[in-house]
Amino acid sequence: MIIVDFNSSFQSIPYRCSMFRWITCTCQRPFHYRRSIIYPLITFMITTGLLYGLVEHYTFTTHFISSSFYSNSTSFNLQCKLSNETIRAINLASNDYCKNLLKNISCKIDSISNFFPKSLPRFCPIQKGNFGDVIGCALNDENSTHHINKSQIFDSDIMCIDYCLKHSVSFAEYNEFTGECYCLSTFNNQHRLITTNQKCTEIIFNNDNLRKNSTTIYRTSFIDFGNHLEKRRQTQNNTQTTIVFFLTVGGRKNLRQIKRLLRAIYSRQHYYLIHVDSRENYLYQELLILSKRISNIHLTNKRYPTTWGASTLLTAHLDGFKQIFDELKWNFSFVLNLSETDFPLKPIQVLTTFLSMYTSYNFLRSHSREPYKFIKSQGLFHTFIHCNDYMYRIGPRSLIQNIIYDGGSDWYVLNREFVYYVTYGNDELINGLRHTFNYSLLPCESFFHTVLSNSIYCDTYIRNNLRLVHWNRERGCKCQHKNVVDWCGCSPIIYRNIDKTTLNDTIDKPFFFARKFDPTIDETILDWIDEKISRRDLSNSAFYLQNIYHINDDTNNLNNVLKLIDSYARTILIDYQEHRRNCFRDDTIQLEQIHSVFQLSLYQGYSLQYKFNDGEQIELLIQLNLLTTINSKQVKRFEIGQELDSKEIVFIDCSRTFIEPKLVRVLIEWESMTDNNTSLVINSPNGAVLQRVKLHPSIEPLIIDIFFPVVSSPNMIGIWQMSIVKENHENFLASLNFLILLSNEDQSLNIQYLTIIKKFWSISNMCTTKINSSLCHDLSNQTKITAINDCFQQRWSYFFYDIKSDW
C-alpha cells in the first residue's frame, strides 16, 4: 500500500495513533510489566488475534476490582477477579451498559465454578469402548508412526484422554510419571504391552528407567462416524417431502436480490421463514408486505442483530425453530437455511426429489482440517459476549471434557426430529451446549455439528451440506471483520462470470445451492443461472436498484452527498412544480426514495423519486458526467473511492463525490505492466500538480491512500483529476475525475456549488407515473423540460416491472 499525505504530517494518518492506544492501556498493569518491552508486544499480538492458537498456554495476570472501578457504571456488589484480557475488553467497550455487562458476566464466570460445564455425556451409539477404558501398560515408543501429535504435558490422564478425543482419534498414551501425552490413530502393537487392563501406576517396577519409559494406553471411545451420500442411497419416500427454507437476511441494499432468491426457490409445497436483522427496518417492512400477500411466507416474530460471528445468530435460529413448531405448526421434513447471497443451482423440485431419499438424515459440512487446529481457529478456547453489535473476547475457558467438538460450514439441511431436539431437548448434553455456545464466536459453525456428533443422532450425520462455496483463503481471510468481532475470520468470495465452468460442472453432483453472489459485483453470472433454472429470457429486465433512502427513514441519516444531490434535483423540478400549481393549489413535493442504479453491475448513478399531493410521482436519473478514460491496454482498472471491500477489491461507494475528505483511496490494476517509469499525477481544480506518486509493476491491484489536509479550505472545492502517465513523455494511460465539496449545513445551493455539481452530475432521464392523466402534464411547450417519459417503461425506474424479483 502506498500512502500520500498532503499534510506531510503523520498526524493525518489515522492508524498511526491507534498503535499508541494499546500501549497506554498497559498503564493499568503493575509497573514492572509496563517497563518490559515484551509485555506490550504480547498484549498487542493477543489483541489482534495473532496468538489465538496458543490460548491454552496463556498466563494471565489478574486484578481485583470493586463497584467503584467505573464511576458511571451501575453498582455491582461482588468483588471479583478479572483477567487482563477481560479488562482490555471492558476498555474496548464504547458505553457503560456494555462495560457493566462484560464485567458482570466475567464475575459470574469467576465466582460460579460450573458456569460452563466441565464435562458432558456423549450419547452417540457409534463408539468403541468407553472414555477412559484402560487397555494396559506398554513400553514407550516415541518413534511410533501412529502418533498424530508431538508430546504434550498434562497433569492427569483424563486431560490427556480428552485431548486425544478432541483430535478425533481412538487411543491416548499417557505417562503418569512424566505427564507426557501422545495420541494414537490405531494401536495394534500388542507386543509393547507389559500388562493388560492395568495402569502403569498399578505395577511395581524393579528399576526407575523402566518405570519412566512406560505409558498407559487408554481408549477415547472415538470411532469414525458420519455417512457419505454414495454409501447411503435409499429408495424414494412415497410421502411428500416438505422443506422449510429459513432465510437469515440483512442489508437494505439486498432487497431485490432477496426477492429474486425467493422467486427462484418458491413452491406452494414448501414453507419460507425469514429472519430480518433487527437493525434493518426498511427491509423488514418491504418483506412484510410480501409475507402478507403469500400465505406460506412468514417473518420471524423475534429479531436480532446478526453481525458476522455473533452469538445472536444462533439465538435467531433457535427462536425461529420454536416459531415453526409452536405458532406456525408446519408439517415439514427438513429445515434448510439460506442468506441473501445464496442462489439455487438446480430447480427446487430436483432438490425435493433428492431429499425425499434421505428424510432420516442430517446434512452438515465438516471442516477438512486437523480437528484441534479448527477448534483453535474458531476461538472455542475463549469466552465471547455480544453487546452493541460487537463480539467481545473476555477471557479463556477450557473445552468441555468427554465430548467431540465438530464444526465447519454454518449452512445446513436438518431433519424435523433433530430440529426438535436442538430446540426442546432437555438432557444434560443439549442444555450444556446451548448454554456454552451462547457465549461463543461463530456458534452456528460449531453448535449443530457438535450436538449431532455427540447425540443419539450421530448416525444420521451426512458430511455434506449440498452447497458449493467460493473459497479463496488468500483474499477471504484478511481479518476484515475486526470492526464487529475481537477475532480474525474468513469469508467466501463472490462468484463472477469467469466461474461459469466451475458452476456448470455441478450438474451431475449433489450441489443444489452456491454462495456467494452479488448483483452489484457480477449480475451476469446470476442471470445465466436464473435463465437455466427458470427457462425465462431475462435480456430486457430491469436495472438492479439498491435502496439507500426511504421516506420512513430519518432524513438525518442521509449523507451529505445525497443531500446535495437532492437539492440539485429539486432545482430541476422547480419549473414542473410551478406548472402544476396552475392546476393544484398548495402543491408540495416529497422525496420518497433514493436508489443506486446498476446495469449489469456497472454503476449508473442515483434515481430520486418524488411525490406530489395528488399522488403523481416523478423520478429522476442522475448520472456522472465525467467517467474514467483508459487509453492504454496496460491499465485494466482505475478507480477511486473511500470505502474499499478488501476481499472483493471493489469500492462500496461509487459516487466520486467527497465532502471534506480526509482520505480517499485509489485502485489501479494492471493488465500488463513491466516498466517502472509510470506515475500517478494528482491535479487540483485549478490544474496545479499537487502530488506525483511513483508506480511499480504489480500482479495484485495497487491500493494508494491519498490524505488531505485536516482543515479543509475553499481551494479544495471543485473537480479534481488523477492521471496515470508515462514519465518524461507525459502520455496519459488513464485518467479520472472526482468532486470535492465542503459541508453545506443548510443545504442551500449557492451559484458556485450549483455550477460545479452540474458539471460533474447531470439529470439524464426523467419520468412520471401519470404520463397521460391530465393536460396539466403536457409540458413540452410550457417548461424547460423537453421530455418526460413513462416510468413504467424505463428500465432504470423503480416502477419498471422487474421480471427477476417482482412476483
| 3-state secondary structure string across 476-534 | HCCCCCCCCECCCCCCCCCCCHHHHHHHHCCCCCCCCEEECCCCCCCCHHHHHHHHHHH
Please tell me the distance from the alpha carbon of residue 81 to that of residue 83, in angstroms, as a whole number: 7
Q: Which whole-number Å values give the CA distances from 90 to 84, 98, 99, 385, 537, in the listed order? A: 10, 8, 5, 11, 56
**Cell 447411503, residue?**
232
- Tell me the pLDDT tens digit for each residue of 321-354: 999 999 999 999 999 999 999 999 999 999 999 9
Q: DSSP of 225-261, one letter per residue?
A: --B-GGG---PPPSSPP-EEEEEEE--GGGHHHHHHH
Please tell me the distance from the alpha carbon of residue 120 to that of residue 124, in angstroms, as a whole number: 12
- Tell me the pLDDT tens digit for each residue of 588-608: 889 999 999 999 999 999 999
- Tell me the pLDDT tens digit for each residue of 144-187: 666 777 789 999 999 999 999 999 999 999 998 889 999 998 88
Report yes or no: 278 and 368 within 8 Å, Cβ to Cβ: no
- State the pLDDT at residue 715: 86
CA torsion through residues 140, 145, 151, 156, sign: negative
Please tell me the distance from the alpha carbon of residue 84 to that of residue 100, in angstroms, as a whole number: 16
Please tell me the distance from the alpha carbon of residue 434 to that of residue 439, in angstroms, as a whole number: 9
Report yes or no: 184 and 172 within 8 Å, Cβ to Cβ: yes
- State the pLDDT at residue 54: 31
Q: Which three three-digit cell numbers place residue 356?
A: 425425499
Please tell me the distance from the alpha carbon of residue 707 to that of residue 720, in angstroms, as a whole number: 14
- State the pLDDT at residue 580: 63
Please tell me the distance from the alpha carbon of residue 503 to that of residue 468, in angstroms, as a whole number: 8
Main-chain phi, psi angles of 534, to 5 degrees: -90, -20
Please tell me the distance from the alpha carbon of residue 770 to that of residue 636, in angstroms, as a whole number: 44
CA angle centred on 495, ends 491 and 501, rounded to 5° = 130
Please tell me the distance from the alpha carbon of residue 200 to that of residue 143, in angstroms, as a whole number: 20
Provide the H-helix boundaries in 298-414: 312-323, 348-355, 371-377
Main-chain phi, psi angles of 41, to 5 degrees: -65, -45
Q: Give exposure, 219-255, as e/b (b: 16+ Cβ within 10 Å).
A: bbbbeebbbebeeeeeeeeeeebbbbbbbbbbbbbbb
183 Cβ neighbours under 8 A, 6+ residues apart = 147, 148, 149, 163, 164, 167, 169, 171, 172, 173
Please tell me the distance from the alpha carbon of residue 715 to that of residue 491, in angstroms, as a whole number: 42
- Tell me the pLDDT tens digit for each residue of 214-273: 899 999 999 989 877 765 455 656 679 999 999 999 999 999 999 999 999 999 999 999
Burial of 44 by CB count in 10 Å (0-12 exposed, 13-18 middle, 19+ buried)?
middle
What type of residue sits at position 143? N
Neighbours of 782 (CB within 10 A): 13
pLDDT above 50 (res 207): yes
Q: DSSP of 203-224, one letter per residue?
A: S--SSHHHHHTEEEEEE-----
- State the pLDDT at residue 5: 58
- Tell me the pLDDT tens digit for each residue of 423-458: 999 999 999 999 999 999 999 999 999 999 999 999
Q: Of 308-322, 613-627, 685-699, 733-747, where does mean pLDDT reach its minimum?
A: 733-747
Please tell me the distance from the alpha carbon of residue 44 to that of residue 24, in angstroms, as a whole number: 11
pLDDT above 60 (res 17): no
pLDDT above 60 (res 751): yes
Q: C-alpha dihedral over 361, 363, 367, 370, to 10 degrees?
A: 0
Q: Which whole-number Å values give the CA distances from 547 to 251, 521, 795, in the listed order? A: 10, 16, 16
More confident residue, 403 or 139: 403
Please tell me the distance from the alpha carbon of residue 475 to that of residue 493, in angstroms, as a whole number: 8
More confident residue, 372 or 637: 637
- State the pLDDT at residue 513: 98
* Percent of the chain scoring above 70 in pLDDT: 84
